[in-house]
């Protein structure tokens, strides 16, 4: 294929001893044959093992009886080898998706067993084993037990059907060719493999904006097709093939739907959630869809936000809206993911989501999940965690993060988001007055994490080879948020770029630092947000610096900078539980990296080390650029050590990133200079 294999490259293992040992363990293979998932597992092994080992295992068509060097994959019911070598209770105790990998002796022979209570678990176990091989880990004494931490590990595609555009997508047009459905392209299967290999188990296929997108893009005029039209009967059939393709990989499809669908798709003259006809319409629509796609995960809904219709149109609230639709999905086991990303009357947008949703805690139906963006504003380079985490104990919550780099350099800058997500996961909400990090609040059966996808038709998938790491890391973190940044990153690098230690060390380090650098050159590093341009052109939007466009978000004025979100200001701090609120409320205890998110302070206010605010902003902007230059130079040391194609591609992007970072630095520092009237102590900032 012309497109990249990402981390499923399966390059030949060159170390002779390692390869020999793997070959010994995998001379024979048997995979149970009873389900679509199992046939996908077989296909994966047929491809991966010969490539990795340079030798083809014998694939048995029957369960093994007595052979050495056997890789057996199945549930205990599938074969005696497994039932007799692994305690059945150990398997039965695993959650959906969990698996065991064990080196066992059976009838005097050495065997390797991958087993699980579900076929989905077998799939994850197989990909886990293949990962170990790709990482050249010893496998002769394996004793692995894994379960996913979160039940729902969803990707949200922001693909606009038929336009084939992807809102905030920087990896080309949508990989889904809706016009040609139900025809399936081989690429869909490769996409499903990538997702399953990191444990993603749900995919929302279309954009949350199901009526006209808020921004113009180059393709906008082409077709009036809107996402809501997917619910039309003539479209729904098209979608069944795609659903079975994903089913083979344990991935449930979801649809973004429009709140006003009873009017747009149906011919009702209202979408009032309390209206009987409306309820019946949703129920009938759900029956129809589930008749075609029985394992549909459910609906994702953006309502009363950025021009999308919602319950407010009928003087109802979000509970009325979400529950009415959830009721239609309930008999089918479907779930509504209802987004908390709303804004309205408040001058400070940060207070809105909590104000709207916290009072509704406990009122949502059991099959509703409230999906909350990581921060209170909107995927900015750095924000504190949303106050809703910990504030709705009686509601199923989902955490939404962005894989696509809308505000962090798009397809050009090498901004790896895992460190950002880690900060959110570890964010201490102290919801119960004791240790309750965000990551501990999402473990229920109706909870989990959702990532806004960064995938498109480009050969690189993500527009930048290094951005593939964001997809990989999201999946791994959703599987186990306790894995360290280093572990996940190194896994990705080894699978993607091979075992050369210099390459591994360099790229692992190269991914660790760009986020902080980006915060520095795009914001000055003290918690400012939205310094970016809001242009009409797709690629300009949210990419270039333009601090004067959004003064309300960062509060620059002659007397100082930052937004007062304390009790004297917008009162946002008070939405946190007391110990957290107090920490942010006081300038003394508020951490520097969020200082100006919570406080409006004089330009010459002195930080702990005696540096003034304006000077720190200057310094951080300059540091950010230096850091990117250093990263670019580090990348250059890889020339000749990795393939030319990827080397060049990333090198060119780093050059561009340096140029853009300089532009950000110059625009921001002159802006600070102009407002503050205070020159840079080191004379680097010009006045114009």
Active site residues: 306, 378, 406
Token pair for 639: 């020339």
CB of 286 to ligand BDP, least distance (A): 24
Q: Which is nearer to ligand BDP, 161 or 199 (CB)?
A: 161
Nearest to 111 by CA among 83, 87, 80, 81: 81
Q: Which is nearer to ligand BDP, 208 or 403 (CB)?
A: 208
CB of 341 to ligand BDP, least distance (A): 5
Most distant pair of Cα atoms in the chain: their distance: 83
Tokens 């004089």 belong to residue? 602
Tokens 């459910």 belong to residue? 298
Find the Cα–Cα–Cα–Cα dihedral 111, 116, 122, 128, rounded to 10°: -70
CB of 470 to ligand BDP, least distance (A): 16
Nearest to 165 by CA among 230, 209, 229, 196: 209
CA distances from 180 to 14, 176, 209, 238, 241 (A): 42, 9, 22, 9, 11
Site string for ligand BDP, 214-253 (x = CB under 6 A): ----------------------------------------
Q: How many CB atoms lie within 10 A of CB 14?
A: 11
CB of 215 to ligand BDP, least distance (A): 6
Question: Could you tell me what percentage of the chain is helix, strand and coil, using 3-state DSSP and rounding each to the nearest 5?
Answer: 40, 10, 45
- C-alpha dihedral sign at 141, 31, 136, 476: negative
403 and 376 in contact (C-beta within 8 Å)? no
User: DSSP letter string over 426-462?
Assistant: H-B--TTSS--BGGGG--STT-EEEEE----SSTTSS
Among 4, 37, 119, 167, the residue binding ligand BDP under the rule CB under 6 A is 167
208 in contact with ligand BDP (CB under 6 A): yes
Q: Which is nearer to ligand BDP, 97 or 384 (CB)?
A: 384
Nearest to 639 by CA among 517, 509, 502: 502
Find the Cα–Cα–Cα–Cα dihedral 617, 621, 622, 625, rounded to 10°: 170
CB of 73 to ligand BDP, least distance (A): 40
Q: Which is nearer to ligand BDP, 353 or 493 (CB)?
A: 353
Among 378, 383, 585, 666, the residue binding ligand BDP under the rule CB under 6 A is 378
Binding residues among 553-582 for ligand BDP as defined by CB under 6 A: none
Q: How far apart are CA 266 and CA 281, in angstroms?
A: 8
* Helix-helix angle 485-497:418-426, to 10 degrees: 160
Q: Which is nearer to ligand BDP, 547 or 577 (CB)?
A: 547
372 in contact with ligand BDP (CB under 6 A): no
Helix (H, G, I), strand (E, B) or coil at 237: helix
Nearest to 259 by CA among 228, 224, 290: 228
CB of 397 to ligand BDP, least distance (A): 17
Among 131, 168, 285, 530, the residue binding ligand BDP under the rule CB under 6 A is 168
Q: Which is nearer to ligand BDP, 210 or 506 (CB)?
A: 210
CB of 306 to ligand BDP, least distance (A): 6
Token pair for 630: 């250093």
Among 70, 341, 357, 364, the residue binding ligand BDP under the rule CB under 6 A is 341
Q: Which is nearer to ligand BDP, 341 or 618 (CB)?
A: 341
Q: Which is nearer to ligand BDP, 323 or 408 (CB)?
A: 408
Q: Which is nearer to ligand BDP, 37 or 378 (CB)?
A: 378
* Helix-helix angle 276-292:318-329, to 10 degrees: 40
Give phi and psi for 159, each to the nearest 5. Answer: -85, 135
Strands 165-166 and 298-301: unpaired
Q: Which is nearer to ligand BDP, 118 or 402 (CB)?
A: 402
Q: How far apart are CA 330 and CA 559, in angstroms?
A: 55
CB of 277 to ligand BDP, least distance (A): 29
Site string for ligand BDP, 66-85 (x = CB under 6 A): --------------------
Among 131, 302, 439, 632, the residue binding ligand BDP under the rule CB under 6 A is 302
CB of 5 to ligand BDP, least distance (A): 30
**Angle of CA points 616, 622, 627, to nearest 5°:** 120
Among 134, 209, 317, 570, the residue binding ligand BDP under the rule CB under 6 A is 209
Residues in contact with ligand BDP, total (CB under 6 A)? 10
Q: How far apart are CA 29 and CA 45, in angstroms?
A: 9
516 in contact with ligand BDP (CB under 6 A): no
Q: Give the residue at shortest CB distance from ligand BDP.
A: 378
Strands 368-373 and 396-402: parallel
Q: How far apart are CA 212 and CA 182, in angstroms?
A: 24
Among 10, 239, 299, 379, the residue binding ligand BDP under the rule CB under 6 A is 379
Helix (H, G, I), strand (E, B) or coil at 212: coil
CB of 452 to ligand BDP, least distance (A): 7
Q: Which residues bind ligand BDP (CB under 6 A)?
A: 167-168, 208-209, 302, 306, 341, 378-379, 406
């Amino acid at each position: 294929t012309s497109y990249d294999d990402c981390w499923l490259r399966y390059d030949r293992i060159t170390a002779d001893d390692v390869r020999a040992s793997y070959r010994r363990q995998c001379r024979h293979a048997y995979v149970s044959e009873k389900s679509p998932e199992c046939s996908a597992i077989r296909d994966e092994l047929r491809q991966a093992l010969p490539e990795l080992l340079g030798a083809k295992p014998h694939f048995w068509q029957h369960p093994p009886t007595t052979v050495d060097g056997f890789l057996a994959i199945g549930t205990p019911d599938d074969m005696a080898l497994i039932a007799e070598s692994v305690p059945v209770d150990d398997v039965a105790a695993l959650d959906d998706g969990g698996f065991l990998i064990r080196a066992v002796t059976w009838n005097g022979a050495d065997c390797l067993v991958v087993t699980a209570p579900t076929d989905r678990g077998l799939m994850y176990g197989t990909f886990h084993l293949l990962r170990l091989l790709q990482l050249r880990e010893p496998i002769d004494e394996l004793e692995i037990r894994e379960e996913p931490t979160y039940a729902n590990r969803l990707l949200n595609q922001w693909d606009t059907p038929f336009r084939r555009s992807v809102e905030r997508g920087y990896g080309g047009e949508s990989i889904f060719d809706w016009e040609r459905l139900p025809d399936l392209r081989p690429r869909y299967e490769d996409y499903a493999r990538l997702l399953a290999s990191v444990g993603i188990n749900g995919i929302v296929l279309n954009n949350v904006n199901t009526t006209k997108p808020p921004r113009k893009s180059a393709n906008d005029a082409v077709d009036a097709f809107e996402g809501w039209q997917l619910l039309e009967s003539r479209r729904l059939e098209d979608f069944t093939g795609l659903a079975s393709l994903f089913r083979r990989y344990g991935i449930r499809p979801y649809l973004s739907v429009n709140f006003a669908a009873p009017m747009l798709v149906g011919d009702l003259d209202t979408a009032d959630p309390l209206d009987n006809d409306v309820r019946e319409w949703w129920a009938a629509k759900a029956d129809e869809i589930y008749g075609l796609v029985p394992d549909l995960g459910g609906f994702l809904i953006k309502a009363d936000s950025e021009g999308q219709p919602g319950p407010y149109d009928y003087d109802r609230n979000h509970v009325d809206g979400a529950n009415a639709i959830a009721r239609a999905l309930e008999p089918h086991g479907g779930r509504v993911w209802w987004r908390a990303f709303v804004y309205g009357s408040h001058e400070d947008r940060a207070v809105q989501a909590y104000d709207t949703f916290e009072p509704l805690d406990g009122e949502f139906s059991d099959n509703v999940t409230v999906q909350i963006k990581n921060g209170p504003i909107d995927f900015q380079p750095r924000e504190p965690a949303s106050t809703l985490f910990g504030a709705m104990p009686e509601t199923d919550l989902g955490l939404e993060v962005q894989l696509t780099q809308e505000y962090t350099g798009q397809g050009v800058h090498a901004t790896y988001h895992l460190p950002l997500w880690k900060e959110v996961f570890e964010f201490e909400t102290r919801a119960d007055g004791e240790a309750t990090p965000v990551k501990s609040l999402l473990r229920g059966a109706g909870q989990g994490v959702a990532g806004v996808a960064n995938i498109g038709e480009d050969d690189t998938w993500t527009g930048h080879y290094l951005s593939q790491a964001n997809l990989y890391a999201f999946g791994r973190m959703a599987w186990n948020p306790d894995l360290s940044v280093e572990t996940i990153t190194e896994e990705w690098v080894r699978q993607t770029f091979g075992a050369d230690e210099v390459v591994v060390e360099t790229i692992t380090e190269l991914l660790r630092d760009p986020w902080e650098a980006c915060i520095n050159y795009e914001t000055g590093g003290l918690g400012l947000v939205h310094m970016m341009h809001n242009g009409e052109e797709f690629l300009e939007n949210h990419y270039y610096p333009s601090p004067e466009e959004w003064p309300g978000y960062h509060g620059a004025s002659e007397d100082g900078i930052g937004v007062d979100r304390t009790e004297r200001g917008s009162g946002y701090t008070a939405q946190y539980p007391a110990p957290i609120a107090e920490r942010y409320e006081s300038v003394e205890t508020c951490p520097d990296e969020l200082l100006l998110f919570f406080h409006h302070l004089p330009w010459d206010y002195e930080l702990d080390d005696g540096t003034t605010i304006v000077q720190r902003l200057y310094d951080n902007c300059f540091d950010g650029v230096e850091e990117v230059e250093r990263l670019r130079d580090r990348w250059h040391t890889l020339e000749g050590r990795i393939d030319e194609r990827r080397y060049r591609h990333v090198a060119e992007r780093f050059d561009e990133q340096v140029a853009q970072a300089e532009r950000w630095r110059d625009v921001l520092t002159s802006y600070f200079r102009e407002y503050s009237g205070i020159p840079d102590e080191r004379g680097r900032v010009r006045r114009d």
